[in-house]
């Protein structure tokens, strides 16, 4: 093997080792800092009656229930459990919890359970919501900095002072006869390719390789037909902007923009009172999709909602607003936080400003719509 090639390989190996060491150091320091913050929190056991809404279908749910009992008994926390069921989602459970006198509600589950519980809790002003993440991706918990692999730490955060008032997104299916056609979301809702990808993800593969299973599903729909329709965006000043005859792969509205390793919407802020919209399209087959992936990597690195200067066959139109309405020429699948809603031709996205009070490990010092409880 030529000496220059050996030298190049050694340099690459050294860089990778250094990157791994830095990442490991950062994770250890972050865990130490988080542990210090959690240990210093002031619990409110004497003031709050907690309802734990738990998804019994999750692995080790019964063991977790026993662990929650032990944690609450050790701290003298008044609590009770409500299980989600096929005919009773987190929304119904949260409303039942408040009706039974709960003054604090904790969602124990994945993003689906968290989303449906939050959808109800956004309507109960001042009642804090905690999260014990036990799902596959736990995207909202990640965005809020809630511990993912330490149940006791998550329970401590959920049952002690320190909360943020978070915006709640809403997706309304306007052409649905279902009386329950308004759906809350905390992370990202969309129509088109993203919903197709989620709908076709293999559940077994998702359990085995977590969120990476979505990429496997995405490859099946790279050449699906584009969507066409008319789009109306209401900007932060209340002005309506109409775009007719738009062609796109997917249209998304985001409240939080971070997913593992990547940033879909780097400038999305969960308590600014706005949604971040993205209208995404590609051309040129695989070249366009490769360009699009490069765009996402570029904005992840830069932290800015701008495309890569190398893009030639992809477009990401990004804008902020308080409402978006879209009418499609043909039905397309829609999704909220990874839950597929079915096909629709007419939907609207809107925002409930700082409607949800969420227990978080740290409350930022800057005034960004936060409230400590």
- Which structure tokens are listed for 13? 């190996």
- Which structure tokens are listed for 126? 């001042």
| Cβ-contact 364, 352 below 8 angstroms | no
Cα–Cα distance, 11 to 19 (Å, whole number): 12
- Which structure tokens are listed for 113? 């359970």
pLDDT of residue 233: 97
pLDDT of residue 46: 59
Q: With H, G, I as helix, E, B as strand and everything else as coil, classify residue 183.
A: strand
| Cβ-contact 313, 284 below 8 angstroms | yes
Cα–Cα distance, 156 to 17 (Å, whole number): 35
Q: Which residues, listed in sequence order, are joined to residue 327 by a DSSP beta bridge?
A: 230, 346
Cα–Cα distance, 30 to 62 (Å, whole number): 30
What DSSP element (H or E) covers 276?
strand 275-282
- Which structure tokens are listed for 253? 């509205």
CA quadruple 354, 296, 19, 140: dihedral positive or negative? positive
Cα–Cα distance, 53 to 357 (Å, whole number): 16
- Which structure tokens are listed for 232? 């109306």
| Cβ-contact 246, 317 below 8 angstroms | no
DSSP code of residue 309: T
Work out whether strand 227-234 and strand 339-359 pair parallel, antiparallel, or are unpaired: unpaired
Nearest Cα to Cα of residue 351 among 292, 291, 272: 272
| Cβ-contact 189, 253 below 8 angstroms | yes
Which residues, other chains included, contact 238 with Cβ-Cβ below 8 Å and sequence gap of 6+?
322
pLDDT of residue 118: 96
Cα–Cα distance, 293 to 287 (Å, whole number): 10
Nearest Cα to Cα of residue 351 among 137, 122, 175, 147: 122
Main-chain dihedrals φ then ψ at residue 162, nearest 5 degrees: 125, 95
Which residues, other chains included, contact 277 with Cβ-Cβ below 8 Å and sequence gap of 6+?
233, 251, 252, 253, 254, 318, 319, 320, 321, 324, 349
pLDDT under 50: residue ranges of the chain: 19-20, 23, 26-28, 32, 367-373
Cα–Cα distance, 144 to 256 (Å, whole number): 9
Q: Which residues, listed in sequence order, are joined to residue 136 by a DSSP beta bridge?
A: none
Which residues, other chains included, contact 325 with Cβ-Cβ below 8 Å and sequence gap of 6+?
174, 231, 232, 346, 347, 348, 349
Cα–Cα distance, 55 to 85 (Å, whole number): 8
pLDDT of residue 126: 81
3-state secondary structure 310-342: CCCCEEEEEEEECEEEEEEEEEEEEEECCEEEE
pLDDT of residue 371: 36
Cα–Cα distance, 238 to 181 (Å, whole number): 24
pLDDT of residue 368: 45
What's the pLDDT tens digit per position in 244-265?
Answer: 999 999 999 999 988 877 888 9
**Terminal CA-CA length for the chain:** 64
- For the chain, the maximum distance between any two Cα atoms, rounded to a whole number of angstroms, is 75
Q: With H, G, I as helix, E, B as strand and everything else as coil, classify residue 9.
A: helix
| Cβ-contact 371, 162 below 8 angstroms | no
pLDDT of residue 310: 87
């Amino acid at each position: 093997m030529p000496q220059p090639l050996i030298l190049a390989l050694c340099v690459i190996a050294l860089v990778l080792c250094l990157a791994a060491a830095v990442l490991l150091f950062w994770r250890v320091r972050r865990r130490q800092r988080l542990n210090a913050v959690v240990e210093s929190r002031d619990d409110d056991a004497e003031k709050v009656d907690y309802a734990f809404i738990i998804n019994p279908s999750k692995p080790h749910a019964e063991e977790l229930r026993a662990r929650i009992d032990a944690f609450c008994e050790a701290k003298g926390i008044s609590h009770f459990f409500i299980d989600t069921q096929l005919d009773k989602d987190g929304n119904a459970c949260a409303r039942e919890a408040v009706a039974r006198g709960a003054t604090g509600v904790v969602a124990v589950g994945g993003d689906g359970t968290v989303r449906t519980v939050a959808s109800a809790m956004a309507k109960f002003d001042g009642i804090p919501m905690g999260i014990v993440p036990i799902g596959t991706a736990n995207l909202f918990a990640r965005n809020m900095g809630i511990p993912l692999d330490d149940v006791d730490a998550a329970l401590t955060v959920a049952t002690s002072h320190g909360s943020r008032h978070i915006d709640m997104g809403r997706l309304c299916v306007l052409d649905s006869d279902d009386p329950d056609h308004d759906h809350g979301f905390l992370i990202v809702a969309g129509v088109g390719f993203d919903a197709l990808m989620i709908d076709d993800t293999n559940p077994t593969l998702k359990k085995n390789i977590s969120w990476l299973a979505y990429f496997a599903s995405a490859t099946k729909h790279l050449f699906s037909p584009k969507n066409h329709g008319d789009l109306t965006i209401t900007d932060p000043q209340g002005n309506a902007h109409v775009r007719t005859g738009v062609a796109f792969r997917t249209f998304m509205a985001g409240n939080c923009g971070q997913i593992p390793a990547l940033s879909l919407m780097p400038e999305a802020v969960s308590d600014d009172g706005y949604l971040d919209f993205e209208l995404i399209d590609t051309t040129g087959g695989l070249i366009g999709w490769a360009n699009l992936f490069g765009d996402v990597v570029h904005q992840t690195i830069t932290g800015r909602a701008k495309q890569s200067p190398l893009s030639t066959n992809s477009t990401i139109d990004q804008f902020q607003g308080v409402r978006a309405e879209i009418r499609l020429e043909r039905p397309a699948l829609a999704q909220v936080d990874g839950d597929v809603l079915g096909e629709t031709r007419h939907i609207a996205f809107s925002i409930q400003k700082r409607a949800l009070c969420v227990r978080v490990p740290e409350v930022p010092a800057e005034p960004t719509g936060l409230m400590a409880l």
